[in-house]
Structure 1
Amino acid sequence: MKEEIIIAGFGGQGVLSMGKILAYSGLMEGKEVTWMPSYGPEQRGGTANVTVILSDQRISSPILNSYDAVIVLNQQSLDRFESKVKPGGVLIYDSYGIHTPPKRTDIKVYKVDATEASFEMKNAKSFNMIVLGAYLKVRPVVTIENVLKGLKKSLPERHWGLIPMNEEALKKGMSLVTT
């Protein structure tokens, strides 16, 4: 098993955190992992993306030109990365702020209303975990149990009280996707 993923959006949407949590989750499952963030000097409001590779075998290079899964959180990222999904791959996008939806027919496309769901949960910070939950429903590359362990590893101890809310957000994201 090898899954090559890119997550892209504006800084402040939890893009890098989502990638880090996925990477830690893969480590918890004994997988080989790479995590390669990329963001502009603007951080909040600028564009950010992170490439994550999870594999049962050694990873030769973290540099990729195409991906098994692309998760985009804004129009700019959709425009940039839609063409980078491998044929037969997966594109997941949050519908909020998307004016031109994906057009490709050789990939599986999943629209997730994560922004709306985070408003329903009365917690805007749950957004990225809702998106991650949707991705894990479509591509169960790691278990929720290991995502929660990865979350605990990436959060400072003073924020561990947020883990139940994050678990709820993951499950909400899973419920938003029909496979």
Structure 2
Amino acid sequence: MKHQDVIIAGFGGQGILSAGRILAQAGMLENKNVSWFPSYGPEMRGGTASCNVIISEEAVGSPIINVATSLIVMNGPSLDKFEKMVASGGIIIADSSLVERAPERDDVSVYRIPATKTALDMGSGTFATIILLGKLIAATNIVSKESFIEALKKTLPEKKHYMIPDEIKALEYGMEF
């Protein structure tokens, strides 16, 4: 992995920005160059939210991603907006519980994972982004599983640490999907 440009997108309240922060923290724990750039509509919860995460062994010139190596989407409008930005040979990971249509590209790897349904079955919808990030980690080796788990511990507030064992199960589910 020399350079990964990841867009994570969905509705506000789905944990999009938090997922990006955890991924960026994991990259920093591995002493990689990292950029995390959030974007959200004025509505926040329920509005659109996305973030750009760049993890690289080289210097990061700009936090803006024009061509992504990977895209994680948690709603249809985000797939519509960002699908064309993925480089040929890249990866699109979609939450098939919420994104009805499949990506139209045949030059990228596509993973459709019922992340929200699985997360709710596990006891919390907040695990959906972790499931999708698990697939990203398995497909790209962007960061190690161990760094991601350490980043969870550093990023989640202390009062939420009781969730970490279930977050790890969600991560592993995504990695194995």
Q: Please, what TM-score do these two structures have when normalized by structure 2?
A: 0.96
Aligned to 2:151: 150
Q: Give distance in 1, aligned partners of 2:152 and 2:92.
A: 24
Q: Any idea what SS the aligned residue of 2:153 has?
A: helix
Alignment deviations for residues 11-47 of structure 1 (CA, whole Å, 9 cap, x no partner): 1111001100000000000000000000011111000
Aligned to 2:93: 92
> Which amino acid is the alignment partner of residue 146 of structure 1?
S
> Which amino acid is the alignment partner of residue 41 of structure 1?
P
Aligned to 2:114: 113
Aligned to 2:35: 34
Does the 8 A contact of 2:98 with 2:116 survive in 1?
no
Aligned to 1:140: 141
Runs of 4+ in structure 1 displaced over 3 angstroms? none
Q: Percent identity?
A: 44
Q: Give distance in 1, aligned partners of 2:86 and 2:144.
A: 23
Q: Any idea what SS the aligned residue of 2:141 has?
A: coil
Q: Give distance in 2, aligned partners of 1:144 and 1:161.
A: 19
> Which amino acid is the alignment partner of residue 34 of structure 1?
S
Q: Give distance in 1, aligned partners of 2:21 and 2:100.
A: 29
Aligned to 1:2: 3
Q: Please, what TM-score do these two structures have when normalized by structure 1?
A: 0.95
Which blocks of at least 5 consecutive residues in structure 1 are unaligned? none
Which blocks of at least 5 consecutive residues in structure 2 are unaligned? none
> Aligned-pair RMSD on alpha carbons?
1.0
Q: Any idea what SS the aligned residue of 1:103 has?
A: coil
Aligned to 1:104: 105
Q: Any idea what SS the aligned residue of 1:137 has?
A: helix
Q: Give distance in 1, aligned partners of 2:49 and 2:65.
A: 16
Alignment deviations for residues 58-107 of structure 1 (CA, whole Å, 9 cap, x no partner): 11111121100011110000000000000111111011232332111111
Q: Give distance in 1, aligned partners of 2:167 and 2:99.
A: 25
